[in-house]
Structures are given as structure tokens and as C-alpha cells.
Amino acid sequence: MAKLTKSQIMQTLAEKTGHSKKDVVTILEAITELAYVQVKKSGEFVIPGIGKLVKVHRKERMGRNPATGETIKIPARTVVKFRVAKAAKDAVL
């Protein structure tokens, strides 16, 4: 089975919920915007039953340039990670 496109996801959700495709698009865009704001402000955003977005600080570390083999310093940075919920793991695996 091929992966769903954004349009196919919106269409499927519209059919399952009885809402118009336009309403579904608006709701998902609002959820996405809320997720970005919450992760930036509080450091995490939970999507019940699916997982959560978490803002994580990576420490400075040493790495290696694969082309030259030279050791380089990788600076500290903040990244966003997605942690899958146990319920999602159990349902899929």
C-alpha cells in the first residue's frame, strides 16, 4: 500500500467525520500552528494516542568530516524531536 498524500488524508478524514474537506484542512492547519507555538513556548506538544513533539537541547560534541576524516567541533543547538506514544507503537507493531 502506498503512503497517503496530504490531499488523500484530508479527503479520508472528511469522509470519516462527515465534515467538508475545507473544514478538515482548516482544523489540521490550526492544530499544526498550535503545535508550533506550544513547542516554542513550553517545550512540548502532545497529540494523544500518537505522540509528542519535544524541544531538546543538544550539547556541543566532536564529530568527523566523512570526506576528509578531519575531527570537527559540532556546536550546541536546540532541535525538535517526535516521540511516539506507547499506544501508537502497540497498535502498529
Is the confidence at residue 1, as pLDDT, over 80? no
Domain range for 33 is 1-42
Q: Do 48 and 38 share a structural domain?
A: no
Both 52 and 92 in one domain: the answer is: yes
pLDDT at 2: 84
Summarised one tens digit per residue, pLDDT across range 68-82 is 999 999 999 999 999
Q: Are residues 78 and 36 in the same domain?
A: no
Note whether 10 and 32 are same-domain residues: yes
Give the chain as a 3 state SS string: CCCCCHHHHHHHHHHHHCCCHHHHHHHHHHHHHHHHHHHHHHCEEEECCCEEEEEEEECCEEEECCCCCCEEEECCEEEEEEEECHHHHHHHC
What's the domain count of the chain? Answer: 2
Residues 4-63: tens digit of each pLDDT: 999 999 999 999 999 999 999 999 999 999 999 999 999 999 999 999 999 999 999 999
